[in-house]
Amino acid sequence: MKRFKTGVILFLLLLLAPLSGCTGATNAANDLFENYGIPGGLALACLDDSSYTRLVLEIDYEEGYKPETSSTDMLVERLEAVCDKPNGIDVKFTLSEFNHQGTWTAEDVRDKSRDAKETEPRDGSTLTWQLIFPSNTYEDDNVLGVAVDASTIAIFGETVDDSAGWFNRPSAEEVENSVMVHEVGHLLGLVNLVYTSPADHEDSENKGHSNNEDSVMYWAINSRSVGSFFSGDLPTEFDQDDLNDLSGMADGSIPTENQLWRP
């Protein structure tokens, strides 16, 4: 049995190795045996209302890194448009100390977020997704945010602040608006993380991201140099291909894999 488990873990490590940067390289042992899942692993739990009728966004932030109200309001609005949650989507803020020095790895995000977590992702009829806003930067200092498992993302405020464009266009607040929706889009499984889209809209060189610069899932949204890619407003909405993918996942017309829960 031990040899079998080791073989499965090695297989998953090879399978998930391409998930890096925006979707942090996944700890296959935890995913398999501790049931944390991969980004997109609780997509159906959000899109469907048959068991989880309420969504809570647990936002744990260090001093000086609380997200802008415009960012959290926009995120709730985007989720309300695609997730069926008759008992609502609520945001809960907690000032936290992650007791971490230096840059962050995906494994650091997993460990520290679980230490700070107040509620398990699935508790009764409530689904909880955790967004942490720590000090310092990701190990790849070009990365603004990262999704590390089925219910957890981190946004790196220092890097977001450094990503504002010339003459503050886009502003750091506008960058944060887009990055938050982008990373939660990965928790919804976008793009092709837990399904295969019938539309050809995944960027061939940046897996898990859109090739449409009008989509919030566009690959450049999570880059420190995002300000140099856009001369106007940053995208903050899922495009029609994204929305069609989510709708197809919800109604079952698009097969969805690696789910911790399904209707």
Per-residue pLDDT of the chain (263 residues; tens, 9 = 90+): 433 333 333 333 333 333 445 876 555 444 544 679 999 999 999 999 899 999 999 999 999 999 999 999 999 999 999 999 999 999 999 999 999 999 999 999 999 999 999 999 999 999 999 999 999 999 999 999 999 999 999 999 999 998 887 767 789 999 999 999 999 999 999 999 999 999 999 999 999 999 999 999 999 998 887 866 665 689 999 999 999 999 999 999 999 999 999 88
Per residue in 24-74, pLDDT (tens digit) is 655 544 454 467 999 999 999 999 989 999 999 999 999 999 999 999 999
Torsion of CA 202, 84, 214, 136, to 10 degrees: -80
Q: Is residue 14 part of a domain?
A: no
This prediction's pTM? 0.89
Per residue in 85-101, pLDDT (tens digit) is 999 999 999 999 999 99
Q: Is residue 34 part of a domain?
A: yes
In this prediction, residue 4 carries a pLDDT of: 35
In this prediction, residue 35 carries a pLDDT of: 78
Q: Is residue 73 part of a domain?
A: yes
In this prediction, residue 166 carries a pLDDT of: 74
Q: Is residue 263 part of a domain?
A: no
Q: Which amino acid is located at 244 in the chain?
A: N
Inter-residue contact 113 to 132 (CB < 8 Å): yes
Q: Is residue 138 part of a domain?
A: yes
Q: Which residues contact 57 (CB under 8 A, 6 or more apart)?
A: 72, 75, 76, 89, 90, 91, 92, 128, 129, 131
In this prediction, residue 128 carries a pLDDT of: 98
Q: Is residue 193 part of a domain?
A: yes
The CATH number of residue 28's host domain is 3.40.390.10
How far is it, in rounded angstroms, from Cα 26 to Cα 34? Answer: 13
Q: Is residue 238 part of a domain?
A: yes
In this prediction, residue 103 carries a pLDDT of: 97
In this prediction, residue 123 carries a pLDDT of: 96
Q: How many domains does the chain have?
A: 1
* Nearest Cα residue to 233 out of 185, 160, 180, 175: 175
Q: Is residue 6 part of a domain?
A: no
46: containing domain: 19-251
In this prediction, residue 179 carries a pLDDT of: 96
Query: β-pairing, 145-147 with 152-155?
Result: antiparallel
